[in-house]
Amino acid sequence: MEISSSTQQQDLKSEVFFEELRKRDFSRLEENQQVYFDYTGGNLYPESLLKEHYDFLSKNVLGNPHSTNPTSKLATQMVEEARKKVLEYFNASEDYFCIFTANASNALKIVGECYPFNEKSQLLLFADNHNSVNGLREFCKSKKGTFQYCPMYYEDLRIDETKLSELLHNKLDFENKLLAFPAQSNVSGVKHDLNWIKKAQDLSWDVLLDAAAFVPTSKLDLKEYPANFVSISFYKIFGFPTGIGCLFVRKDTFNKLHKPWFAGGTVSFAAVNEPLHKLNTNHERFEDGTINYLQIPAIKNGLDYIENIGMVNINKRVEKHTQFILSHFANLKHTNGNPLVAVYGPKDTQSRGGTIIFNVLDKDGKNIPFYEVEAKANEKNISIRTGCFCNPGIDEVNNCISNEELSKYYSAKEGANFLEMINYLGKMRGAVRISVGFVTNQSDLQNLIHFIESFRA
Ligand SMILES: Cc1ncc(COP(=O)(O)O)c(C=O)c1O
């Protein structure tokens, strides 16, 4: 009894805390009558973060970094403070370089471009990857390496771990083997088992962990899960600024990346009469040209903001919201008793985040086209996402799209697109995605359920 009443008290305290936070930093949602359910697409920025940063910018003079003049020195100092904070936040200070990039995709591209793929290399990908990871296969192919996908189960969209183990054991005589997978699916919310990092490394694989969808609502400790390369985008964690991500590279793998060119800021020496250059030996090697020195200082404030709330609290809140939605969706029925919603992937909160993919069904059990659901949501100022979410692997599994169908469509069409493929195959594709964050509140959740109920027939 005592335990449950103290849990209730804690829940109440947490509810009050998050409601106050919402009023303080996100009142624009109510003012604009917006209901936001695309936290995996991008988190919302707290107003206080904007104010803090613009205060700093308006009171200081910052110049292009890496010079000894005072305005340059201040910019360098602020960027390096942000970098230090990022490394500390992910428990990566000793073992990693933090390379600031434009976003997670750009971080991934650096790995693709610089990883030493050759005819004895293999790139192993989870079928549940964002296209910015799938695209790495083009770098691998261009250097005559091979790539393979590890499939996932239709039932819960989790990876086939027996197959994964087999694939990891398969290429023992290969050089430069890279396993690339998301810590959390950007579509199904599935959290993949991070223990595969060490298991793969023990079999001489390098591991690229795409943590973009995981870190906004979960703690990532890079000492515990020492992936060789890790990609993230900061706007997904705290909304502002956009245009900054980072690539963590483990120091002991750093020299494995071969940069195919050099640019301003990346070299310690370059000559013209004799075409020689020496690349920098730290993060600077991969930060081409002028970094975003006016916005990077805001990254430190953003991480401080998240730490003040506490990732454990964020995680709990997101789990509670996810549970609420999943249980309500399971109970929504048409008047004839048929279900109103078909959720793909896990139906509970075990090892998953706050991203849910589903289709709304008509009373005969057929999918209502996702674009109709989206159009209705738009009318009500509810921001959801629809389509395949840059993750074709999940959509192909959900809609049972065969290799033959994909090849037939692809070879028949010069330019290809998702909606046209639906027409061509006469087969529905796509789904609806919603995602919750620490800003989501009960009123948003009620709005969502009412909206889905509006399809009841
Ligand atoms: C898992 C995952 N990886 C990569 C990306 C690409 O991130 P960005 O568009 O910020 O480069 C996203 C974006 O949604 C994502 O969710």
Number of alpha carbons in the 13 Å side-chain half-sphere of residue 176: 20
Tokens representing 416 are 């290809």
Q: List the end-to-end C-alpha distance of the chain, in Å, as a whole number.
A: 43
Reported pTM: 0.97
Residue with token string 């996810």: 322
159, 252: one domain: yes
Largest CA distance in the chain: 81
Domain end position, chosen among 307, 342, 362? 307
Q: Is 421 within the bounds of a domain?
A: no
CA of 45 to the centre of ligand 1 (A): 17
Is residue 377 within 8 A of residue 451, CB to CB? The reply is yes
Q: Is 295 within the bounds of a domain?
A: yes
Mutate to test the pocket of ligand 1, among 190, 247, 390 (most ligand atoms within 8 A of CB): 390
316, 225: one domain: no
Residue with the smallest CA separation from ligand 1 atom 14 is 41
Total domain count, the chain:
2
326, 287: one domain: no
Going by their DSSP bridges, the two strands 122-126 and 146-150 should be labelled as parallel
CA of 130 to the centre of ligand 1 (A): 7
* Closest ligand 1 atom to Cα of 185: 1
132 Cβ below 6 A of ligand 1: yes
Q: Is 185 within the bounds of a domain?
A: yes
- Which secondary structure element, helix H or strand E, spans residue 326, and what is its range? helix 311-331
121, 18: one domain: no
322 Cβ below 6 A of ligand 1: no
199, 282: one domain: yes
Query: Could you tell me the CATH number of the domain that includes residue 376?
Result: 3.90.1150.10
Q: Looking at this protein, which amino acid is placed at residue 178?
A: L
Q: Is 247 within the bounds of a domain?
A: yes
288, 359: one domain: no
Q: What is the pLDDT along the chain (457 residues), one digit of tens a residue?
A: 455 678 888 888 999 999 999 999 999 999 999 999 999 999 999 999 999 999 999 999 999 998 999 999 999 999 999 999 999 999 999 999 999 999 999 999 999 999 999 999 999 999 999 999 999 999 999 999 999 999 999 999 999 999 999 999 997 788 899 999 999 999 999 999 999 999 999 999 999 999 999 999 999 999 999 999 999 999 999 999 999 999 999 999 999 999 999 999 999 999 999 999 999 999 999 999 999 999 999 999 999 999 999 999 999 999 999 999 999 999 999 999 999 999 999 999 999 999 999 999 999 999 999 999 999 999 999 999 999 999 999 999 998 888 888 888 888 877 778 788 888 888 888 999 999 999 999 999 999 999 999 999 9
Domain end position, chosen among 255, 281, 307? 307
Q: Which residues, at least 6 apart from 219, have a Cβ–Cβ distance to it below 8 Å?
A: 311, 312, 315
105 Cβ below 6 A of ligand 1: yes
Q: Is 413 within the bounds of a domain?
A: no
CA of 215 to the centre of ligand 1 (A): 11
Helix axes 311-331 and 2-25, enclosed angle (nearest 10): 100
286, 255: one domain: yes
* Closest ligand 1 atom to Cα of 389: 14
Q: Is 146 within the bounds of a domain?
A: yes
Going by their DSSP bridges, the two strands 177-182 and 205-210 should be labelled as parallel
333, 274: one domain: no
43 Cβ below 6 A of ligand 1: no
285, 207: one domain: yes
107, 218: one domain: yes
* Cα 235 to Cα 105: distance, rounded to the nearest angstrom: 13
390 tagged catalytic: yes
299, 338: one domain: no
203, 69: one domain: yes
Q: Is 56 within the bounds of a domain?
A: no
Number of alpha carbons in the 13 Å side-chain half-sphere of residue 83: 22
Which residues constitute the domain of residue 190?
64-307
Q: Is 405 within the bounds of a domain?
A: no
Query: Could you tell me the CATH number of the domain that includes residue 242?
Result: 3.40.640.10
Which candidate, 432, 448, 434, places its Cα nearest to that of 386? 432
Domain end position, chosen among 275, 307, 339? 307
355 Cβ below 6 A of ligand 1: no
